[in-house]
Amino acid sequence: MHNCLTLGLRYASIRFDTLRKLCNPCPAEALSNSQITVPMPKHALIFGSTGLIGTQLLHELAASISNHNGDSAPAITSVTLVNRRPHPDNHLLQQNEHITEQLFDFSAWSEVASLFTPETSVFICLGTTRKKTPDKKQYQYIDRDIPVAIAKAAQEGGCANIQVVSAIGADATSNVFYNRTKGEMEEGVKKAFTCGQTVIFRPALLLGNRTETRLGERIGEIIFNIADPFLRGSATKYRSIESRDVARAMIFAASQNVPATTAYFDTIKSWSKAL
């Protein structure tokens, strides 16, 4: 009788887990901490920590690690930044012993293989602009090829999940170079990384304090400030969004191991508030 009951419970558990994976419960706004019971990753591996979203991501994680109360540890307890050059905020790195930096030229991936572990959440916040990188092949290398290489390394290391910043309009079949590059990046990452969950973030115009002045984006901010209230229903995803919201949403999705999905404005705002 006891063996039958045990087998029954195991069967029910397997059936429930299979059903959960097949259903892929979205939209993600419906997810809550009580619904997600999978183990939480402990290590954050950030690529692109000097950009608009990457900077916010670093500061949010640093604050979470530093300010947690003694009763419970934060979901993510250590952070590794992977950069070509030393991070400009050396003061922040020196203040927090749980944040380390690995300099890497993105060629010999065996040099950073040990950073990819089953307890690792990988954050990809890489991106450039046509102004900075006018050569199309170099642009694709940064925006498409490096993220795919990161995903392959994450697959080999058995990482918990990948959170990757893309953009609204990403489409591998698009005639627009930018949209096509982002779409090819998304497809490449999802194909390369199959051992865990991949969450794609597709924000529209990003708001926040930039280290450089971009006239086009400044004009866009003015236009979207007027247009945002009128973007409703299916058009909500085109609203501008704070980079901090995207960063917080990425942390929520990673720490809760949210099922694979593509997150737009409403989902991003929901996850940001839930963190």
Query: What is the predicted pLDDT for the residue at 22?
Result: 38
Q: Three-state DSSP class for 24?
A: coil
Classify residue 52: in a domain, yes or no: yes
CA–CA distance, 239 with 235 (Å, rounded to integer): 8
Report DSSP letters for 58-126, one per residue: HHHHHHHHHH--TTS--S--EEEEEESS--S-HHHHHH-TTEEEEE--SS-GGGGGGG--TTEEEEE--
Q: What distance in Å separates the CA atoms of residue 114 and residue 184, rounded to the nearest whole number?
A: 27
78 in any annotated domain = yes
Nearest CA to 205 among 124, 251, 265, 132?
265
| pTM, 2 dp | 0.83
Half-sphere exposure of 269 (CA within 13 A, CB side): 11
Pairing of strands 99-103, 78-83: parallel
Per-residue pLDDT tens over the stretch 199-210: 999 999 999 887
With beta carbons less than 8 A apart as the criterion, state whether 53 and 65 touch: no
Higher pLDDT, 66 or 170: 170
CATH number at residue 182: 3.40.50.720
Note the pLDDT of residue 62.
Answer: 94
Residue by residue, what is the 3-state secondary structure of 38-76?
A: CCCCCEEEEECCCCHHHHHHHHHHHHHHHHCCCCCCCCC
Query: What's residue 70's pLDDT?
Result: 56
Q: Is the pLDDT of residue 144 over 80?
A: yes
184 inside domain = yes
- For residue 83, the enclosing domain spans 36-274
Examine residue 26 and state whether it is found in any structural domain, yes or no: no
| Domain-located, residue 10 | no
pLDDT of residue 221: 76
- Establish if 208 belongs to a structural domain: yes
**Residue 21 belongs to a domain:** no
Domain count, the chain: 1
1 found inside a domain: no
The DSSP output letter for 211 is: S
Tell me the C-alpha distance between 15 and 206, whole Å: 41
pLDDT for the residue numbered 212: 67
Q: Which of 15-29, 34-48, 53-67, 211-225 has the lowest mean pLDDT?
A: 15-29
Cis bond upstream, residue 27 (ω within 30): yes
Structure tokens at 11: 């069967």
Distance of CA 109 to the CA centre of its chain: 20
pLDDT for residue 74 = 72
